[in-house]
Amino acid sequence: MKFMKNQLRRTAVGAIAAIAALTSFGAVASADEITGAGATFPQPVYTRWAEQYAASNGDTLNYQGIGSGAGTTQIINRTVDFGASDAPVAPERLASNNLLQFPAVIGAVVVSVNIAGVNGNDLHLTGPVVADIYLGRIRMWNDRRIAALNPGVTLPAVAIAPVYRADSSGTTSIFTSYLGAVSLAFQTTIGAGSSVSWRAGIGAPGNAGVAGAIRNTNGAIGYVEYAYATENNMATPQLQNRSGAWVRPNSAAFAAAAATANWASAPNMAASMINTAGQANWPIVSATYILLPKNPTDGARSLKVMRFFDWAFNNGQPAADQLHYIMLPESVRAQVRQRWCQVRSNGQPVWSGCH
């Protein structure tokens, strides 16, 4: 009995000490950490930047890839220091919630296929054909519309299995925006969004799920973020761009699309890089966005967020190259820094670079 009592007391003391240690650690961590939440599309590059930034500067960044919609909700509720969204947020929603939106980095979405006996990298597809595949109008790989684009390639009589993201995703939003831009039928029957009412195919969870489903299935076609396709050696067909040229997905083609975007006239810097004209342009390119409160309760924390992205704009190139993201053009980075001046605490701009 006595032994048990002692044991109990010891356990209780231990538990209290452990709880105290945990809470104090939590408090310390949350004081110094910048927190952000949202899109999964740019998560790899944000995480890499955060590691390098912490090593060079000491401030740590905790980024949670919980999805664009959830990230937007979190910044509206001011539970994080910044939100992140792949699709630009509607201007009226930005205004009503006092949010500043700026682009952070550019990424591309690619189409991937798995057809036994066909080299997917040499396959040629056009936007309208891909749209009709996802509409369920083209069902076989030896369909004459696909064969017409690929003279000399023997396409098997295999059913096409379109694969899409089961979860709501910025990647889906970018891909459906593209299909909607090139196909009126797609725009009117399905439309664009982070989760849409697909007419054909199967949904797999996450980029990894889509990649797995494509690998598993003979005849599959799907879309993933470019970094994901290169890391997994996925076959990526060439697409015909707006200028009628056939392009392979690579960094040069993405950068060409980024260069032609009309940043100056886009409201809230939401410049579209979908289906841009230009011989070298990859047609499915998009920026991903950061949301900052214009009236932060703690200006110092907002400043830390800006310093982080300022550091990333100056030093983030190697990590972006490695992960196949495209940096914003220099002129756009300067515009973003100018826009940071709209964030004010006690009537004063938080960012130091304002005149």
Partner 1 sequence: MSVSSSVDFENSRKFHLGEGIFRTILLFSALVILITLGAILTILFLSGQHAFARYGVQFLWLDQWDPVRDVYGAAAPVVGTLASSAIALAIAWPLGFGVAYFLTESCPRRLRAPLGIAVELLAAIPSIVYGMWGFFVFAPVMSSAIQPWLTANAWLFWIIVAALVGISLSSMTLATLGRSIFGRIVAGAILILALAGIVYLAVNRTDLPVLPSELNPLWWWFQGAPVGVGLLSAGVVLAIMILPFIAATSRDVLNTTPQLLKEGGYAMGATRWEVVTGVVIPAVRGSLFGAVFLGLGRALGETMAVVFVIGNANRLPDSFFAPTTSISALIANTFPEAGPDTMLQASLFALGFILFVVSFFVLALARLMLRQGRMA
Residue whose CB is less far from partner 1, 139 or 339:
139
Q: Are 264 and 90 in contact (CB under 8 A)?
A: no
Q: Does the protein bind partner 1 through residue 318 (CB under 8 A)?
A: no
Q: Does the protein bind partner 1 through residue 190 (CB under 8 A)?
A: yes
Least Cα distance to 249 among 121, 87, 130, 131 occurs for 121
Stretch that binds partner 1, among 99-107, 197-205, 237-245, 345-353 (CB under 8 A): 197-205
Smallest distance, partner 1 to C-beta of residue 217, A: 5
Residue whose CB is less far from partner 1, 168 or 251:
168
Q: Are 77 and 31 in contact (CB under 8 A)?
A: no
For partner 1, the binding residue among 59, 64, 124, 203 (CB under 8 A) is 203
Rounded CA gap, 282 and 240, in Å?
A: 8
Rounded CA gap, 180 and 29, in Å?
A: 44
SS3 344: strand
Stretch that binds partner 1, among 198-206, 227-235, 320-328, 334-342 (CB under 8 A): 198-206
For partner 1, the binding residue among 36, 42, 44, 69 (CB under 8 A) is 69
- Under rule CB under 8 A, which residues in 27-56 are in contact with partner 1? none
Q: Does the protein bind partner 1 through residue 222 (CB under 8 A)?
A: no
Stretch that binds partner 1, among 14-22, 126-134, 213-221, 272-280 (CB under 8 A): 213-221
DSSP 88: P
Rounded CA gap, 71 and 85, in Å?
A: 7
Rounded CA gap, 279 and 252, in Å?
A: 12
Smallest distance, partner 1 to C-beta of residue 169, A: 8
Q: Does the protein bind partner 1 through residue 278 (CB under 8 A)?
A: no
Residue whose CB is less far from partner 1, 70 or 185:
70
Q: Does the protein bind partner 1 through residue 66 (CB under 8 A)?
A: yes
Rounded CA gap, 228 and 218, in Å?
A: 20
Q: Report the C-alpha dihedral over residues 55, 206, 171, 339, rounded to 10 degrees.
A: -30
For partner 1, the binding residue among 3, 5, 55, 197 (CB under 8 A) is 197
Smallest distance, partner 1 to C-beta of residue 205, A: 6
The 10 Å CB-count burial string (b at 16+, else e) for 278-295 is bebbbbbbbbbbbbbbbe
Smallest distance, partner 1 to C-beta of residue 193, A: 5
Rounded CA gap, 337 and 48, in Å?
A: 22
Count interface residues toward partner 1 (CB under 8 A).
Answer: 37
Q: Does the protein bind partner 1 through residue 67 (CB under 8 A)?
A: yes
Residue whose CB is less far from partner 1, 190 or 284:
190
Q: Identify the residue whose tokens are 């990298």.
A: 121
- Under rule CB under 8 A, which residues in 110-149 are in contact with partner 1? 139
Collect all residues with Cβ–Cβ distance below 8 Å to 252 and sequence separation of at least 6. 280
Per this entry, what is the length of the chain?
A: 355
For partner 1, the binding residue among 166, 185, 259, 280 (CB under 8 A) is 166
DSSP 270-281: ----BT--STT-
Site of interaction with partner 1 (CB under 8 A): 66-70, 72-73, 139, 159-161, 166-168, 190-199, 201-205, 209, 212-213, 216-220
